Chains A and B, each alone.
Chain A
Amino acid sequence: MGLVRGAVLALVLTGVLQIPTVTAQQKFITVASTTSTENSGLFKHILPIFKARTGIDVRVVAQGTGQALNTGKRGDADVVFVHDKVKELAMVKEGAFVNRHDVMYNDFVVVGPKADPAKVGATKDVVASLKKISAAKVPFASRGDKSGTHAAELRLWKAAGIDVAGGKGGWYRETGSGMGATLNTAAGMNAYALTDRGTWLSFKNKADLTISVEGDKRLFNQYGVMLVNPANHAHVKKELGQEFIDWLISADGQKVIADYKINGEQLFFPNAKR
Chain B
Amino acid sequence: MNSLLEAFSSAWHLIAGFDAELAQIVGLSLQVSLTAVVIATLIGLPLGAVIAVERFAGRQALIVLLNALMGLPPVVVGLLVYLLLSRAGPLGSLGILFTPQAMIIAQAVLITPIIAALSRQTIEDAWREYEEQLQSLGAKRLSAAMTLIWDTRFSLLTIVLAGFGRAAAEVGAVMIVGGNIDGVTRVMTTAIALETSKGDLPLALGLGIVLISLVILLNTLAAVTREIAMRRYG
Contacts and interface: CB of A to CB of B under 8 A. Distances in A.
16 contacts: A1-B225, A1-B229, A8-B34, A12-B38, A15-B31, A15-B34, A15-B100, A39-B194, A59-B181, A74-B89, A179-B197, A180-B196, A181-B196, A184-B197, A233-B87, A235-B87
Nearest to A228: B87
A15 B228 CA distance: 29
Contact of A19 (B86, B99, B181, B225): B99
A204 B221 contact: no
Contacts of A35: 197
Interface residues of B, number: 34
A16 B198 CA distance: 31
A35 to B, nearest CB: 6
B32 interface: yes
Nearest to A3: B225
Ordered nearest first, which 8 A-B pairs have the shortest CB separation? A180-B197, A205-B199, A15-B31, A61-B179, A75-B87, A74-B88, A204-B199, A203-B199
B73 interface: no
A62 interface: yes
A238 interface: no
A202 interface: yes
Interface residues of A, number: 40
A125 to B, nearest CB: 28
Given A15-B104, A60-B182, A1 B87 contact: no
B31 A12 contact: yes
A235 B96 CA distance: 13
Given A12-B31, A16-B104, A74 B199 contact: no
Interface string B67-97: 0000000000000000000111100100101
